[in-house]
Amino acid sequence: MKDLIVFDMDGVLVDVSESYRAAIQATVLHFTGTEPTNDEVQVWKNRGGYNDDWKLSHRMIQELGEEVAFDDVVSRFQQIFLGPAFHVGPLPDGLILRERWLANEGLFDRLAANHTLAIFTGRLGWEAQLTLDRFAKTIFNPVVGVDHVKNAKPHPEGLHKIRAEVPHRKAWYVGDTVDDARASSAAGVPFIGIASPSAPRHAELAQLLRDEGAVAVLDDINSLEAVLAKNS
């Protein structure tokens, strides 16, 4: 029986600085005329409770004094993220195509030799699959999205769901937000944090993840093997 590694997706497996993060900025700009900086978006993320980028965009719009229906925010966000023509075609043409895979070649092949690899993400499951189809179609199973659970992160439901489905020895969760860390703690799963040096408020995020109980905080997932070997 293998150990289980569950990965968050955004900021862990995929660089979303020009997709989800840019979609937040563009959505807020559309409704308010003010574009938040990357730093300002990260401040909200570091507070916890804003794993859902639709809800975060809506809240930031409210903070800027505009009252907009949540469904209108979601619709605009999706047009930016997936592209305005996505609803009439099978493939996206929006900011999602700017995403960059973060793992070095061979990393997951080596990890899969001794681990089952799964994903628990705040994305909708089918949106996660759009990106996985481009970069890593068959590596992760199961893939649990926010639409597969009743309670989103920081609730641990997604981690409980995966652990119930996958026979395993030890389990790990790898994430890059306070909400990831809190979900991991609530599930009783050791947490490994990711805080990219290129990300806004890097030092603050790294410290927050440590404060939330991370056994290690890495620059990216390509250092993961050493941490697993040390803590196995």
Residues in Cβ contact with 131 at an 8 Å cutoff, skipping those fewer than 6 apart: 9, 14, 96, 99
On the CB side of 172, CA atoms within 13 Å amount to 24
Asked whether residue 230 carries a pLDDT value surpassing 80, the answer given is yes
The runs of H, that is alpha helices, within 33-165 are: 38-47, 53-63, 70-82, 107-112, 125-135, 157-165
pLDDT at 232 over 90: no
Backbone angles phi, psi at 47, to 5 degrees: -70, -25
| CB distance 153 to 11 below 8 Å | no
187-to-36, 155, 172 alpha-carbon distances in Å: 33, 8, 10
What is the pLDDT, as a whole number, of residue 184?
97
| Percent share of the chain, pLDDT over 90 | 89
State pTM to two decimals: 0.94
Judged against a pLDDT cut of 80, whether residue 89 lies above it is answered with no
Report pLDDT digits (tens) over 55-76.
999 999 999 999 999 999 999 9
pLDDT at residue 92 in the model: 80
Max Cα distance, the chain (Å): 54
pLDDT tens digits, residue range 12-26? 999 999 999 999 999
pLDDT in tens, 114-141: 999 999 999 999 999 999 999 998 899 9
Segments in 166-231 forming alpha helices (H):
178-187, 202-211, 224-231
For 169-223, how does the pLDDT look when each residue is reduced to its tens digit (9 = 90+)? 999 999 999 999 999 999 999 999 999 998 889 999 999 999 999 999 999 999 9
pLDDT at 104 over 90: yes
Q: What is the dihedral of CA 201, 206, 212, 213, to 10 degrees?
A: 180
* Alpha-carbon 70 to chain mean position: 21
The residues pairing with 115 across neighbouring beta strands, listed in sequence order, are 3
Parallel/antiparallel/unpaired status of strands 143-144 and 115-120: parallel
The answer to whether residues 46 and 178 touch, using CB atoms and an 8 Å cutoff, is yes
